[in-house]
Amino acid sequence: MDFDLSGIEKDLQTAAREFAEGEFTDVAQEYDAKEEFPMDIWRKACELGFIGTFIKEEYGGAGLGFMSMILIMEQFWRVDPGIGNIVLAAFGNEAIQQFGTEDQRKTYLPLAPAGKAIWGCAVTEPNAGSDIFNVSTTAVKDGNEYVINGNKMFITNGTVASHLIVFCITNPNGKDRTKRYSFFIVETDRPGFEATKLRGKMGIRASDTAELSFSNLRVPSKSLIGEVEGEGFKQVMYTFNINRLFAAAQGVGIAQGAIEKAIGHISKREVFGNTLSSYQGVQFMIAEMATRIEVARNMLYKAGWLIDNGRFNPKLVAMAKLFAGETGVYVCNEALQLHGGYGYLEEYGIGRLYRDAKIVEIYEGAREIEKITIAREILGREK
């Protein structure tokens, strides 16, 4: 078995690392404090080809598959997670590329890589997080249009997005509940759309998060993703699984960034006449952290490779996301401990990583949901 990355992947990984170190490092604390989306950095990322790299060449992308996004996300989150979430400017394009009509692909997919659009995926609602069957936003057919009404919560890029894909009920009385839902492409400049920025988040503050409102918002029938209604559940599960891999990359990236900060600190900090790194107890902590990162990264890369090679494995995706999220939290906690009191100072940056890490265990499927998915795949039953 060959576990090595291709030459293109190695070059992309190096370029992403250099870009993040060059663009994020000096401004990360500022964007975190202001809770502001880094628009200028996003534009530069688009110019350098870091956004929507999974989009096929015929639709304006690089055609590098989902592994490319994993590698970029990992390197960006290694430096700063809040700014690093600019990778999600193409959020939702996965569904359009996989399920959209040819006209939708040609019209919408070129926008994100070219820096002409920021996208978001609007699924979660105030009373419907992991339980997507509780979604209440409706899309009612009215002639050649659909009328959308409802609210969404915790939507990434909500106030900065020019385009969204919105998960709605189109057949509320359908006997098969998986056929009740559909996805729609929505331009946010349409009348009836409102976005309210959610401030005061614990972490990833430079990543825009919002509550959305749709009030009699009208879209043309051709905004329905795909050819027919009722395919939304299949589409949202596909989108979730792809983005669980991106979340796993976030967990690996933030863990790598944290251990590097810890190693830098313990190699210089002297206690009782010796550097912290000379003590066996500290060495054990580093060994445990590094081992978990390696295991998480191997699962992540394997899951990504399988998807790009047409061998999607939902159990492995869930495992990768679960373990990478836990690893990110664990390593950031240990890294902060190794910094001692210095870890509580903003200038050292480890406190920000500590705050940022927890979200990976929550969004794109909480860790409890991942465990349910893993168990069902193993046991082969629904309950």
Q: Is 53 within 8 Å of 67 (Cβ atoms)?
A: no
Run means of pLDDT, 10 residues per run, the chain, 383 residues: 89 98 97 97 98 97 96 98 98 97 98 98 91 93 97 98 98 92 98 98 98 98 96 95 96 98 96 94 98 98 95 94 98 98 94 98 93 92 54
The structure tokens listed for 82 are 């809040």
Domain 234-379, CATH class in plain words: mainly alpha
The predicted structure's pLDDT at residue 381: 63
The structure tokens listed for 191 are 């009348």
The predicted structure's pLDDT at residue 128: 85
Give the span between the Cα atoms of 296 and 252, in whole angstroms. Answer: 7
DSSP letter at 253? H
Give the span between the Cα atoms of 381 and 373, in whole angstroms. Answer: 10
Q: Which CATH architecture has domain 119-230?
A: Beta Barrel (2.40)
The structure tokens listed for 174 are 């359908």
Q: Is 151 helix (H, G, I), strand (E, B) or coil?
A: strand
The Cβ of residue 128 has, within 10 Å, a number of other Cβ atoms equal to 18
Active-site residue, 364 included: yes
Which pTM does this prediction carry? Answer: 0.95
* Residue of 35, 231, 326, 364 marked catalytic: 364
Q: Could you tell me where the beta strands, DSSP code E, fall in 134-180?
A: 138-142, 145-156, 163-169
Give the span between the Cα atoms of 225 and 185, in whole angstroms. Answer: 7
The predicted structure's pLDDT at residue 109: 98
The structure tokens listed for 369 are 């949901």
The predicted structure's pLDDT at residue 174: 87
Exposed e or buried b per residue across 331-359, where buried means at least 16 C-beta atoms within 10 angstroms of its C-beta:
bbebbbebbeeebeeeebbbbbbbbbbbb
Q: What contacts 173, CB < 8 A, 6 or more positions away? A: none
Three-state DSSP string of 163-207? EEEEEEECCCCCCCHHHCEEEEEEECCCCCEEEEECCCCCCCCCC
Q: Is 275 helix (H, G, I), strand (E, B) or coil?
A: strand
Q: Which CA distances in Å does 269 have to 33, 264, 277?
A: 28, 9, 8
The predicted structure's pLDDT at residue 383: 46
Q: Can you identify the CATH homologous superfamily of domain 7-108?
A: Acyl-CoA dehydrogenase/oxidase, N-terminal domain (1.10.540.10)
Q: Do domains 7-108 and 119-230 have the same CATH topology?
A: no
Beta bridge partners of 165: 121, 185
The structure tokens listed for 38 are 């880094």
Domains of the chain, residue spans:
7-108, 119-230, 234-379
Give the span between the Cα atoms of 372 and 153, in whole angstroms. Answer: 23
Q: Is 327 helix (H, G, I), strand (E, B) or coil?
A: helix
Q: Is 19 within 8 Å of 48 (Cβ atoms)?
A: yes
